Structure formats: structure tokens, C-alpha cells
Amino acid sequence: MYVQRKTISARVGITGIGLHSGIYTRLELHPAPAGSGITFVRSDLDGLRIPALQASTTALDYATTVGRDDVSVGTVEHLLAAIVACGITDLDVHIDGPEVPIIDGSALPFMHLIDAAGSRHLGDKIPVLRITEPIEVSDGDKSIRIAPANRLVIKYRIDFEHPSIGREAFHFDFQQDNFLRKIAPARTFGFMRDVEKLRAAGLARGGTVENCIVLDDNGVLNGPLRFKDEFVRHKILDLVGDLALIGRPVIGEITANRAGHALHSRFVEKILRASEAEAAAAPASRRRAAESFA
């Protein structure tokens, strides 16, 4: 199974502060040729190229970073979610600093940016990674699993001991549901009680009530929420961004419980290992036909 490769039609850009670094960067999306994939280009460092692939990734619980040698680009997940949700397979993301601007904490501004650029088919196809056996990773009471299905579905559950969150569950079907309307606007969130610890660790330095949902022990400080279950919707957004690091579309039914970027990352790694093992085990005659692991 294959889908059409797609890039954008024109260059577009946006400027803003990084959630964790507090550094302002200029981000520009440029069309890219078929087969190049999604690549971060550090325009401030002689155009050093970092592919948006799992092999270049380090994930903390708070954000996902891609890097090469000592150079990195942080908080890539919301932008990557927007890129793949728009069906873009090949794109150069020029950035003049170490972190993608957080803008409003969601993927919506990036989807609008891609929409403004327009998109075009590249006359080439990309194989879809179709899951044939269940794959699961877990860590205590956190888990994430994918099982074979004929389309991508994500079922996510969270459980935070907090009066404004508690238990939330959301089911998103990529064939039937509208990502732009249901998932893209969901914003990132953070707890006041973690701020000091995060800042001491060099994180959350750009976080404000303008770019994330801030919670104290009693409730949301900067309401209203965009959805009553905005938190779990944002977890789906994060997962879609982290899945983009597979480097091609994936099809299966995903069930996630209380996961985060670190577990998402282990999950993506396990999917890639399973896909490589399956490709190696396939007879050569079948391998060519089923290059897609389909």
C-alpha cells in the first residue's frame, strides 16, 4: 500500500519563542524533492541537515528533540503532527535556533501555515507501514500498543490526580475524524508545581499563559479550555508527531494508557525494529512487492 508523496507549493514562515529554551527562532518551511523526507535545516549553522527520523531522536517526558552531532532542534512534535496530518511527506524545515517556536501550544498555527503555502503532489509514492503483529511497550502502569487494522486509529487514556483533569479518554479515527477540528487546536499543558524544577533543568523557560494551559493545584489558571477533554486530545497530537519519526505513514489500531514522549519514543523504536525484522525474513520475491511491510 502506498500514498502519494506531497510537499508544499511555496515558502512560508513563522517566528516565536521556544517553550523550553525561551529562545526566539525563525522557522521557514521550504518545498523539498520527492524522497527527501522531512528534514530540519539549521540555517544559523551552515544549513546543517537533521532528518526527522527516530534514529536522530532523543525524547524526554516533556518534549521530543532531533539532533546530529552536538546540534539539535527541540520540541518538534507539534510541528511534525501538523506536517503529517496535512499529508506532507517531503519538506525542509529551516530554523535559525535550537527549538521550534511553541506559538499557542497547539498544532493549529502550523496547519494554517501549511494551508497558506498550499501543497502539491510529487508524482512519486511512499510505502505505508502496515502493522501485521501486535507490538507493545510498557513502563509500570503506562503502556502503548498497536494492533493490525485497515486504517490508523488512536485510543488514548490519561489519568492525572488533578481536579481539572482526572480520567480522560479519546478515540480518533484518521479516516473518519477531522484532525484540524478535533486534535490540532488542543494545547500543551503544564503544572505550576513543576515550574521551578523544570526551569532549574533548563526547561519551560519560554512557557507563559499565552502558550500553554497552566494548572495550579486547584484548577486551570488561564481558562477557558478549548475542549473539556483538551488534555487527552493534546496527548494524541503529541503521539501523532512522535509517530512521524517513523518516516512514513503507519496503519494500525493504537491503544495508549498514560504514556508520554519517552514511551512514545520506545514504541516507535520497537515498531521500526519489527518492520526491519519482517523485511529481512520475507522471501526476496515477496520483499520487492511488499516493500511497504504491508
Query: Catalytic positions, please?
Result: 261
Closest separation in Å from C-beta 19 to Zn ion: 9
- CA-based nearest residue to 150, from 251, 289, 275: 251
How far is residue 269's CA from residue 283's CA, in Å, rounded to a whole number? 24
Residue 54 binds Zn ion (CB under 5 A): no
Sign of CA dihedral 160, 161, 162, 166: positive
**Closer to Zn ion by Cβ: residue 98 or 241:** 241
Closest contact distance (angstroms) between CB of 189 and Zn ion is 8
147 closest CA partner among 158, 136, 134: 134
**HEC string for 28-74:** EEEECCCCCCEEEEECCCCCEEEECCHHHEEECCCCEEEEECCEEEE
Comparing CA positions, the residue from 33, 51, 34 lying closest to residue 42 is 51
Q: How many residues bind Zn ion (CB under 5 A)?
A: 2
Give 59 or 129: the residue with its C-beta nearer to Zn ion: 59
What is the closest distance, in whole angstroms, from the C-beta atom of residue 214 to Zn ion in the complex? 14
Is the CB of 78 or the CB of 130 nearer to Zn ion?
78
Q: Interface with Zn ion by CB under 5 A: which range of 9-17, 43-51, 180-188, 249-257?
A: 180-188
How many CB atoms neighbour CB 117 within 10 A? 21
Binds Zn ion by CB under 5 A, chosen from 43, 64, 188, 292: 188
Q: How far is the CB of 86 from Zn ion (least distance, A)?
A: 18
CA 72 to chain centre: 16
Part of the chain binding Zn ion (CB under 5 A), chosen from 53-61, 187-195, 214-222, 273-281: 187-195
Q: C-alpha 198: how far from its chain's center?
A: 21
Q: Is residue 91 a contact partner of residue 247, using CB atoms and an 8 Å limit?
A: no
Written as nine digits, the cell of 17 is 519563542
Distance CA 139, CA 117 (A): 41
Q: Which residues 93-122 are close enough to bind Zn ion by CB under 5 A? A: none
Q: Cβ of residue 190: shortest distance to Zn ion, in angstroms?
A: 10
**Of 37 and 260, which CB lies nearer to Zn ion in the complex structure?**
260
64 forms part of the interface with Zn ion (CB under 5 A): no
Which of 127-135, 179-187, 237-245, 247-255 is the region at the interface with Zn ion (rule: CB under 5 A)?
237-245
Among 99, 238, 242, 253, binds Zn ion (CB under 5 A): 238
| Residue ranges binding Zn ion (CB under 5 A) | 188, 238
